[in-house]
Amino acid sequence: GAVVSQHPSWVICKSGTSVKIECRSLDFQATTMFWYRQFPKQSLMLMATSNEGSKATYEQGVEKDKFLINHASLTLSTLTVTSAHPEDSSFYICSARLTGGRETQYFGPGTRLLVL
Amino acid sequence: AQSVTQLDSQVPVFEEAPVELRCNYSSSVSVYLFWYVQYPNQGLQLLLKYLSGSTLVKGINGFEAEFNKSQTSFHLRKPSVHISDTAEYFCAVSDGGAQKLVFGQGTRLTINP
């Protein structure tokens, strides 16, 4: 139980294009999902908290116009990297918290983005 | 604000030896504590968590951790490691309110035969 998937698992795109990453909770409903970014050999940094049906809450320093988050249903959140540049290349990981659950986040397998 | 410090960036051990990965946290409120494991190019898998109650927490794959409030620590231990335990281990804390996780820098556990 509590499986989270991400799609795609990896993507290569040209600079200036936009990339959408999907995060799905497969066997549970998630009112809240989280988006993290991880640079090589570093820890996870929270980018934003996504709540179903409302605007995402972004962490300080994260550009909300560049990283668009949509959480339209209880099982799906999307992160769109707009006008991607090489410095946006990273490993993006989402997590989901059970609706009614208060503490445990379940993580997706991650999406590796390479911007050329 | 909360913070987590993992004192060792890398820990090499021999197979079947015991291991301890150290984690210290700082917080002004009651916390929930977690250990996650990350295998190469994968997401994070929950090993164990402390929410309340017994300070000794047992998790998957033979791991356990002990919450020590006075020392603000939550060290992870395993009595006998296996090659398959080679991975990156992250300690994390949340405040129980906003539920946001703050991660430590990670400890790379390498098991040598």
Residues in chain A closer than 8 A to B101 (CB atoms): 34, 44, 46, 95, 105
Tell me whether residues A109 and B99 touch, CB distance under 8 A. no
What whole-number distance in Å separates Cα of residue B18 and Cα of residue B71?
22
> How wide is the angle at C-alpha A104 spanned by C-alphas A52 and B9, nearest 5°?
120
Q: Identify the segments of chain B with pLDDT beneath 50.
A: none
pLDDT in tens, A28-85: 888 889 999 998 878 889 999 998 888 899 999 999 999 999 988 889 999 999 999 9
- CA dist., res. B68 & res. A110, Å (int): 32
Nearest CA in chain A to B42: A109
Band of residue A2 on the pLDDT scale cut at 50, 70, 90: confident
